[in-house]
Structure formats: C-alpha cells, structure tokens
Amino acid sequence: MTDADFDLDSDELVSAEDFLTYFGIDYDPAVVQVNRLHILQRYHDYLDQLAEWPAEASARRALHAAQLARAYGDFVASDARTEKVFRVFRMHEPRPIHVGLDQLLEQLPHAAKV
C-alpha cells in the first residue's frame, strides 16, 4: 500500500460503517446506528491527540484502525450521554456558584448588618 492509495481510499469513506468495514473492525450495527456521529467525532478527537504520525502508509493505516476501534469501543461499553463527545452534552453540567453572605444580606433591606 502506498501513501497515495491510503489517502485515496480514506477520501472515499463517508459513513461510520464505511470506516469500520475499511479498517476491518467487527461492529454491531445497532451500536453504530445509535452512535455513528459520536463514534466518528471521538475517532477524530483521538487522531487529533496524536503527537507523531508514522511515515509509512501501512503504519498510518494501523494507527487509524486502532484509534477507530478505540472510539467504537467507547460506545459499546457506554453511551453518548455518558461519553459527552459533543458540546451540547456538556452545556448543562452543574457549575459551582459562590454567593457571599454579605451579598445576600444586601438584598434584604431590614437585615442586620454583618
């Protein structure tokens, strides 16, 4: 496999099923149907975290396959809400807010001064 072959092949992949089949990863269609975008985004995130890329196409292909298998595995063992791949799942997480007693007492006109 040459670099050009791998690049051309990967340009043709459009769905999560295409990627999983191309890299020879066995998958449960029910898991992919529910989590396809999450799997592909997690795969992309894992690739972005890599500091170095192998020079050889076969090594890059193996690295891609490993990261895709890892991303798919995340959703076999878990779900989209738990994994929180997309920002929308993180928007309503509780955030600590600190309000001082003096600020609360300022709102009460008859409260004793602290």
- The confidence score (pLDDT) of residue 53 equals 86
* Cα(111)–Cα(27) distance, integer angstroms: 64
Task: Select, from the ranges 9-13, 64-68, 73-77, 93-97, the one with the highest average predicted confidence (pLDDT).
Answer: 64-68
Number of domains in the chain: 1
**pTM > 0.85: yes or no:** no
Residue 97: give the domain boundaries: 3-106
Q: Does pLDDT of 78 surpass 80?
A: no
Report the share of the chain in percent with pLDDT over 70: 73
Could you please report the per-residue DSSP string of 18-54? HHHHHTT----HHHHHHHHHHHHHHHHHHHHH-S---
How does pLDDT run across 4-50, given as a tens digit for each residue? 566 566 678 888 999 999 999 999 999 999 888 889 988 988 998 88
Is residue 50 one of the residues assigned to a domain?
A: yes
User: Is residue 10 domain-resident?
Assistant: yes
Distance CA 15, CA 21 (A): 10
